[in-house]
Amino acid sequence: MKLGTKLVVSLVITTIVTMTVHGYLSIQQDRENIVREIRVGMRGLTRAIQAALNDIYGDKKDLEATQEFIDRVGSRINIHGIVVYDTSGKPVAVSVSLQETQEFPDLDSKPILRIDPSPVFENGKGMEGYANRPGQLVYYRGEPIFSSDNKLAGAFVLGRRGWGLTRTIEARRNRIILTTSALILLLCLFILIIVRRNISRPIRELTDRIREIGKGQWEQRIEVSGRDEVSYLAEEFNRMCARLEETYHRLVQEQQERLGLEKNLRHSERLASVSKLAAGLAHEIGTPLNIIAGRAEHLLRRQRSPEEANENLKIIRSQIDRITGIVRQLLEFSRRKEPVLRSVDISALLTNVQRLLQHQIEEKHVAVALDLRATLPEIQADPELLQQLFINLYLNSLYVLNAGGTITIRADLAEDEESQPNRTNGRSWLKVSFEDNGPGIPPEHIDRVFDPFFTTKDIGEGTGLGLSVSYGIVKEHGGDIRVESEPGRFTRFVIRLPADLPCGEGQERTGRA
């Protein structure tokens, strides 16, 4: 419900309740005033009737004159009727207005005829009260009748209709209803105009400005007019916008400075990587070059037999091939090809990689356990790069395992929260883990296993590029790789690849692997 509607409904309800209470109190006051007037008038009227009946009935006991008198008085407007009683309480004369006649068909005689005059005879004083009937209020008053010697000769009861009271109450009620309706209508119109002008329109403008600020338009401001609460709110909003704009520009400046620092840091890291690369390259190429130099010098010192010369030349050639292989790996590392995404069945690819390396697995007398989920979805990936990734991990485990060792490969689906609680996009991932029960990785080396040219293998047995290349392949597929190890127990590489990457996202779907 809108604010204006709430205000209108609240004020209408308040007005209705207020006017109802006011009307009720006013009607009650009018009733009391009219009753007071009736009582005062009845006292004077009953005294005059009492004086006449004291003479006609108290002294003369003239019932005919008494009847004629009360008929004449009872026919007056607002007079309901008169009943005269003897000392035994028996009615001896009843005005014609209280009798069943056609002259006064709208009068009900029962309220007056049922009045008991005994209190007048007991006390010798007057009595008064109300005899109500539907639609009318009848006020009655009883007085004693005395003879000239002041003896109680009887009593009479006079009833007066409250037509004036009923009409006044009805007029007041109608006036209250009319006044309340007009007041409610005027209040509704007035409140709607005031609310729309002073509340609804500024709040709507404030909402529009907040929406524009949400879109990045920090310069938006609200025009302030007046000195009410909404104006104060608009002023505070403008000040908040100014602070937000200032903060935004400061954050942009800080971000630019941070980007500059990061750029310089990346440049420094590249220089460090080049230095590390040069050192690793010198280390890897230095050994075969020393062998080549030694063999060449050995051949130059004196004439050698053809067999000995051929043997030295083979060694020189093998070392040259080794250098060529190192340079080729270095070139592949520095110039990785962009992945061509296709639909890849990971279960089939892992099985195929095992089949390619089966002879090396058998030579090492190592067991391989494949624990693959029965219904793994196909993912969008480059099968050649993934095959290189899995071969690198296979060879890494085969190198450290002794006979009787085990390589366990698992593949299953995982959600974001399982591995990375900070992710909230709800993506699905294919998780592949390579685990061996080899000697493990020392804690001081575990943070460097993906660095180029870092290796714990003996000279000539590895370049230290395999895991670095594997890391790059996983990252190029939008995934991540991590290593877990406990020295003397196991080493586990955990790979996560997007399982919900749509075909055609950045690459062309070229087929199925």
Q: Mention every residue, 6+ apart, whose C-beta is less than 8 A from residue 63.
A: 57, 92, 93
CB 107 within 8 A of CB 117: no
Q: Which two tokens stand for residue 192?
A: 């709607």
Helix, strand, coil shares, percent, the chain, to 5: 55, 15, 25
For the structural domain made of 218-335, what CATH number should be given? 1.10.287.130
> Helix axis angle, 383-400 relative to 346-356, nearest 10°?
50
Closest to 400 measured CA to CA, from 442, 361, 457, 485: 457
Q: Which CATH architecture has domain 3-171?
A: 2-Layer Sandwich (3.30)
User: pLDDT band at 333, cuts 50/70/90?
Assistant: low
For residue range 181-224, list pLDDT tens digits in order: 887 788 778 877 877 777 777 777 777 777 777 776 766 676 66
Q: In terms of Cα–Cα distance, which of 82, 90, 80 is closest to 117?
A: 90
C-alpha pair distances (Å), 140 with each of 14, 33, 186, 208: 41, 17, 45, 73
Give the pLDDT band of residue 457 (cuts 50, 70, 90).
low
Q: What is the mean pLDDT of residues 351-359?
A: 85
Q: How many residues does the chain have?
A: 513
Question: For residue 71, what are the contacts with CB-CB under 8 A and spacing of at least 6?
Answer: 95, 96, 97
Q: Average of pLDDT values for 23-28?
A: 76
pLDDT tens, residue by residue, 458-513: 544 454 566 777 888 888 888 999 999 888 889 999 999 998 654 444 343 333 33
Cβ neighbors of 115 (< 8 A, separation 6 or more) are 83, 129, 131, 140, 142, 157
Considering only the top CATH level, what class is 338-498? alpha beta
* Displacement of CA 74 from its chain's centroid (Å): 78
Kindly report the pTM of this predicted structure: 0.38
**Residues 243, 241: Cα–Cα separation, whole Å:** 5
Residue 81, classed as helix, strand or coil, is strand
3-state secondary structure of 191: helix
- Ordered by start, the domain boundaries in the chain are 3-171, 218-335, 338-498
Query: What mean pLDDT comes out for the span 298-314?
Result: 79
pLDDT of residue 424: 43
Give one word for 478, left, alpha or beta, with left for phi > 0 and alpha for psi -120 to 50.
Answer: left
Q: What is the DSSP string of 419-472?
A: H-TT--S--EEEEEEEEE-SS---TTTGGGTTSTT---SPTTS--S-HHHHHHH
Rounded Cα distance between 412 and 430, Å, is 6
How many Å apart are CA 350 and CA 21, to the nearest integer? 88
- The mean predicted confidence, pLDDT, of the chain is 77
